[in-house]
A = this chain, B = another copy of it.
Amino acid sequence: MAKDEHISMSVVRRLPRYYRFLYDLKENGIVRISSRELSQRMGLTASQIRQDLNCFGGFGQQGYGYIVEQLYTEIGHILGVDVLTPTILLGAGNMGHAVANHMDFEQRGIRLISIFDNNPALIGQKIQDVEINPIEKLDEICTENKIEAAILCIPNEVASQVVERLIKLGVRGFWNFSHYDISYNHPGVLVENVHLGDSLMTLSYKLNENR
């Protein structure tokens, strides 16, 4: 498929959502769907959906709709789920545990190689078959496994120092649950921040507006 060279990040950010909806449709045995039906399901306009999917060369046929399985596979391919990036997770507290337990990494283009923590009680334990290693092994494991991405579930106070060390070890992408501002301090690095508090405050706003 011809891939548009300049896909805006706002389109890219909607793709995982398409992917999720298409997965559900697929699981429910739905073979094809019109842009109108998909738009109703997703709360977008049909023209928005057609526009989004046209960025990637277009999938649908006029008057026929999209083939669910095909569109699902193609979007997964665009998102890069076929190529598994060797990744580590730092911090096996509650959040690290929750993430390591629930994420279906391999379906999202991530191969989780190792988890790190400095709590001796956790070392040697496994979460979903991935071992928790002491932070002393960081350099060795990163180098040996050509680690490219890191998931940060560590406190703010240590994040700055850990990020610096990881970048030197070849890490070029971060999934960041800490509030340390990686992009500001390391402009070239790829970052996705998860700010759960921002989402909760948006809910507070809505609750308040509708009081």
Bound-state Cα–Cα, A95 to B93, Å: 11
The answer to whether A103 and B207 touch across the interface, beta carbons within 8 angstroms, is no
- Of B15, B97, B104, B207, the residue contacting A80 (CB under 8 A) is B207
Knowing A102-B94, A109-B207, A208-B109 are in contact, say whether A195-B16 is a contact too (CB < 8 A). yes
- Of B16, B20, B104, B199, the residue contacting A192 (CB under 8 A) is B199
In the complex, identify which listed stretch (A63-71, A136-144, A171-179) lies at the interface while the others stay far away: A171-179
Chain B nearest CB from A107 CB (Å) reads 8
The answer to whether A108 and B211 touch across the interface, beta carbons within 8 angstroms, is no
- A105 surroundings in chain B (CB, below 8 A): 200
- A197 surroundings in chain B (CB, below 8 A): 16, 20, 103-104, 108
A99 part of interface (Cβ distance < 8 Å): yes
Interface residues of A in 185-211 (CB under 8 A from B): 190-192, 194-211
The answer to whether A79 and B179 touch across the interface, beta carbons within 8 angstroms, is no
Q: How many copies does the complex hold?
A: 2
The answer to whether A103 and B200 touch across the interface, beta carbons within 8 angstroms, is yes
**Please, which residue of chain B has its CB at the minimum distance from the CB of A194?**
B199
Q: Mark A7-37, 1 if CB is under 8 A from B, else 0.
A: 0000011011101100000000000000000
- A16 surroundings in chain B (CB, below 8 A): 195, 197-199, 201-202
Other than the given A16-B195, A94-B97, A97-B98, 13 more pairs (CB < 8 A) read A12-B202, A13-B202, A15-B205, A79-B204, A79-B205, A80-B205, A85-B207, A94-B98, A94-B101, A105-B200, A108-B204, A149-B207, A172-B210
**Please, which residue of chain B has its CB at the minimum distance from the CB of A42?**
B184
Chain A contact residues, majority secondary structure: helix
For chain A, the count of residues having a C-beta within 8 Å of the partner chain is 59
The answer to whether A83 and B194 touch across the interface, beta carbons within 8 angstroms, is no
A78 part of interface (Cβ distance < 8 Å): yes
Most buried by B among A43, A101, A173, A208: A208
A55 part of interface (Cβ distance < 8 Å): no
A131 part of interface (Cβ distance < 8 Å): no
